[in-house]
Amino acid sequence: MARKYFGTDGIRGRVGQFPITPEFVMKLGWAAGKVLACSNGRKVVIGKDTRISGYMFESALEAGLSAAGVEILLLGPMPTPAIAYLTRTLHACAGIVISASHNPYYDNGIKFFSADGTKLADEVEHAIEDMIDQELVCTDPAELGKAVRISDAEGRYIEFCKSTIPYATRLKGMKIVVDGAHGATYKVAPCVFRELGAEVISIGVEPNGLNINEGFGSTSPEALQAAVLKHQADAGVALDGDGDRLIMVDHTGSIIDGDELLYIIAMERKGSGHMTGGVVGTVMSNLGFEHAMMSADIPFKRAAVGDRYVMEMLQQENWLLGGESSGHIICLDRTTTGDGLISALQVIAAMQHSGKPLAELRVGMSKYPQTMVNVKISQRIDITANQPIQRAVKDAEQRLGSRGRVLLRPSGTEPLIRVMVEGQDEHQVLLVANELADVVRTSIL
């Protein structure tokens, strides 16, 4: 059943435009309180990132939840995965995150975690949507919820992060640049690495409400690359605005993306005898990563794009490790959701355990050239039912054979068909991608 308000990762949009308005968010808080508190208790935690609108939406949620008779625990600026963790450990019935992740400051969003620190089931989201459309009725004044600030939230999460790598792991002698994207990890991320003994150079840790993700973080890694080279650091860690996405940089200034980070974590697990099951990537995961998993005898499957779908496939397969090229990495043997900081710790621990630099740990995986061509469309079309396009795709796949891959998919946010081709031969990849894009353009006229 289609969702009315929720997308694949909560509700997100431009601040001041429906549904990201104070009125709607207050109603959302009330509806969520009525649905979530009825069977799981009467306590909800709220955390946010550093964008200026977070103050407004925190207050709106607080009002709505209080009207529903729910107790509110305010965490302040905290990474999204920290809110998932604290929802569990504080025994709350749900956690609410105010964040638009890697988007600019003028966007914001609301997403939820269940009592177990996982994303809400579809039926629960539908129940909240149904409740939103009901008249808001305030509970009896004696039953109104109170709000309390949790003063030690940062310390709780820092200790949890440190506990996800072996106790004997010490980072003394390592120099690490940490980029907090002026976002939710600006305090906790440098503290974690510093408390483990590393020399930490912090960048992107001066949020002003308007600069989240601006020129820093995992979506703008140039500042991290420059800082790693300037300070001759062993590694660089870049998180996004809400802390669930990770990109790293090795000592040469080269970017290590999500596929390569997953490869390093998987190989460390396998080498230490702790690899359980296989690895889930997405349809956008590089073919070189898939081949590297095959060479290591590690099962590999692809999910649709989005950490929600990676998580669903992990649960279906009863596997523990998955993620996306963009840097959303899920280590279910460590925590319940994607966590950039915990993922970074797994990679840093692999460096320490092996005694090898990050640049060497990535060597076993060769990324194949990949080309993406975006074809503008005036209206949505079913490319799977378009015979000329499907014939062209089949022909392209036969030409590439086992040395390449083709993917056509409509954009979820723009009027585009994305034509992606990858393979071992870069010249062939470019040629096939452009030929396919021409067929798509011709077929939709």
Return the active site residues: 101
Q: Return the DSSP state at 245.
A: B
CA–CA separation, 393 and 384 (whole Å):
10
**Exposure string for 228-267, b = 16+ CB within 10 A, e = fewer:** beeeebbbbbbbbbbbbbbbbbbbebebbbbbbbbbbbbb
CA gap 434, 24 in Å, rounded: 44
- Tell me the DSSP string of 378-435: SS---GGG-HHHHHHHHHHHHHHGGGEEEEEEE-SSSSEEEEEEEES-HHHHHHHHHH
| Cα end-to-end span (Å), the chain | 32
Read off the tokens for 30: 């009330």
How is residue 67 written in tokens?
């009207």
Tokens 């990324």 correspond to: 367
Tokens 């359980």 sit on residue: 276
Task: Give me the torsion for CA of 51, 56, 62, 68, rounded to 10°.
Answer: -120
